[in-house]
Chain A
Amino acid sequence: MNPAPEVHVTPAVIRLEIPAVAEWVAVARLAVSAVASRSHFSVDEIEDIKLAVAESCTNAIQHGAGGQIEIVCEASSDRLQVTVRDRGTGPLLGSVKKEEDRITETGRTEELGVFLIRALMDSVEYTSDPRSGTQLVMTKHVGN
């Protein structure tokens, strides 16, 4: 049987805003997983993206200043870049490298979300500014 022809995905930008409250995180993760499914990601990769986006939104809620969370997806056939912006100062990023030790030794889980984002996505970049808030840009490539 011949493999299914690869469908070209027109590069697209999709923007979504949700209130920075817990009950809307599910909407964000499902919307982004729908965008990811338009690219050529596997089911497992889509699940990774879904969790990373949810963790980003959860961080924005826990460390943000309320208001809205902006989620921007830039999708193409072979990659998805997701930017999550909020008005807060962001989590303490310098302390998440040894998250596994932190969890098992002390039981602390507050930065577990950031650890998961880093583990599940191919690249993650945070910028935080007291005036403009926190921006997280994360990228995943198909088949990586």
Chain B
Amino acid sequence: MDIKVSVRESDSDAYVVDLTGEIDVYTSPKVKDAITELIDQAHYHLVINLEKVRYIDSTGLGVLIGGLKRVREHGGSVNLVCTNPQIKKIFDITGLVKIFGIFDDEQSAMKALA
């Protein structure tokens, strides 16, 4: 079980974090490191692509919430790309759909960045 993290700059100066695999208590530090590094470099508009994430637990959600809090302090935002019904359900029952922008495709998530 592992998570693959890759970061790329989009055309609109935002950054996209592509995640592939499973985000749990073991793998979430790797995701946190990638997001923290971007924010430390003053990149505050992020799209996190969960399209290829098969599983996420509370530690993974915690990493995303932590990233969102930090970018908001700088007027930034984090949008998510997610179509996996099971993962969307987790965002739904935890109420996180209210604080994250969740989109079906990267283009829409990018367009909606503040």
Contact = CB atoms under 8 A, between A and B. Distances in A.
A14 interface: no
B58 A104 contact: no
A97 to B, nearest CB: 13
Interface in B57-112: 57-59, 61-62, 65-66, 69, 85-86, 89-90, 93-96, 98-99
A22 interface: yes
State the majority secondary structure of interface residues on B. Answer: helix
Q: How large is the interface on B (under 10, 10 to 19, 20 to 34, 35 or more residues)?
A: 20 to 34
A99 B65 CA distance: 14
A115 B94 contact: yes
Given A23-B26, A54-B24, A107-B65, A44 B99 contact: no
Contacts of A116: 57-58, 90, 93-94
**Which residue, B57, B89, B95, has most C-beta atoms of chain A within 10 A?**
B57
A28 B84 CA distance: 23
A103 B96 contact: yes
Interface in A29-60: 44, 47, 50-51, 54-55, 57-58
A61 B58 contact: no
A22 B90 CA distance: 21
A23 B25 CA distance: 8
A109 B65 contact: yes
Q: How large is the interface on A (under 10, 10 to 19, 20 to 34, 35 or more residues)?
A: 20 to 34
Contacts of A22: 24-26
Interface of B: 1, 22, 24-26, 55, 57-59, 61-62, 65-66, 69, 85-86, 89-90, 93-96, 98-99
Given A22-B24, A99-B95, A101-B95, 15 more contacts: A25-B25, A44-B85, A44-B89, A51-B55, A51-B90, A54-B25, A55-B58, A58-B24, A58-B59, A100-B94, A100-B95, A103-B94, A113-B58, A116-B93, A116-B94
7 contacts: A101-B95, A104-B96, A109-B61, A112-B62, A116-B94, A119-B94, A120-B93
Interface of A: 22-23, 25-26, 44, 47, 50-51, 54-55, 57-58, 61, 99-101, 103-104, 107, 109, 112-113, 115-116, 119-120
